[in-house]
Chain A
């Protein structure tokens, strides 16, 4: 799939499916399994329907028909939260990994 149409056109992969959602939501919105499932089904279908190399199919999903403001701010200055200081990031990382201490690998 692709979340950036212009970048993907330049790369020119064999096949791609594009969903016009903000970055971080390529296969749907949180806790909306119905929408996620539809997007994934459409992407799987594209494996069968794309017959010309370099094709990019744009799926018809709209993030929010009443609010397109995300398109003005996605990937612009300030759209990412401030990165934590290394010390804090390292501490959070240690805490995250310790949550699984003693959990057997499946």
Chain B
């Protein structure tokens, strides 16, 4: 059975007012994929707090995002996030940020094109309103500017 994180969050933070999780009851917005993924331009996005070289670490409630060059290697990357154990992800970023795997799949033609750069933010943001009003629209603009067909958001 998948772990239930909502009750566990409530327990972990029981001295705080219970968190009001986002609930969307309407049918989600839907854009069908009009061509095979092998013909699509895809952007990779991570909420796991990925950093490239000397980019400064995130802080709590940080609604900024970072640009991660498509050819970044393990040595170029680090992680800052307070909400999950980052040890394995630091030793191999592909655990939460499969950039190397996507480069390979692009070379093999499984995905049409991997967009450059990839995007990173730190998902430990209490205010869903700030994500909706500050972070999401700016990333959406970046994706439109890059003319991507789809984006692949990987959480941690």
Contacts and interface: CB of A to CB of B under 8 A. Distances in A.
Nearest to A70: B3
A30 B101 CA distance: 12
Interface in A1-59: 1-7, 10-14, 18, 20, 22-31, 33, 36-37, 39-41, 43-45, 47-48, 51, 53-54, 58
A76 B96 contact: no
A36 B95 contact: yes
Given A25-B88, A37-B105, A40-B105, A3 B28 contact: no
Contact of B28 (A23, A40, A53, A77): A53
Interface of A: 1-7, 10-14, 18, 20, 22-31, 33, 36-37, 39-41, 43-45, 47-48, 51, 53-54, 58, 71, 74-77, 79-81, 83, 93, 96-101, 103, 105-106
Interface of B: 1-6, 8-9, 11-12, 21-33, 36-37, 40, 42, 48, 53-54, 56-57, 69, 71-72, 78, 82-89, 91-92, 94-98, 100-102, 104-105, 110-111, 150, 152-156
Q: Is the interface of A mostly helix, strand, loop or mixed?
A: loop
A105 B67 CA distance: 12
Contacts of B24: 10-12
A42 B104 CA distance: 15
Given A74-B3, A96-B78, A105-B53, A26 B95 contact: yes
A24 B85 contact: yes
A36 B99 CA distance: 10
Nearest to A90: B57
A29 B8 contact: no
Most chain B C-beta atoms within 10 Å of own C-beta, residue among A12, A83, A98: A12
B22 A11 contact: yes
Contacts of A97: 54, 56
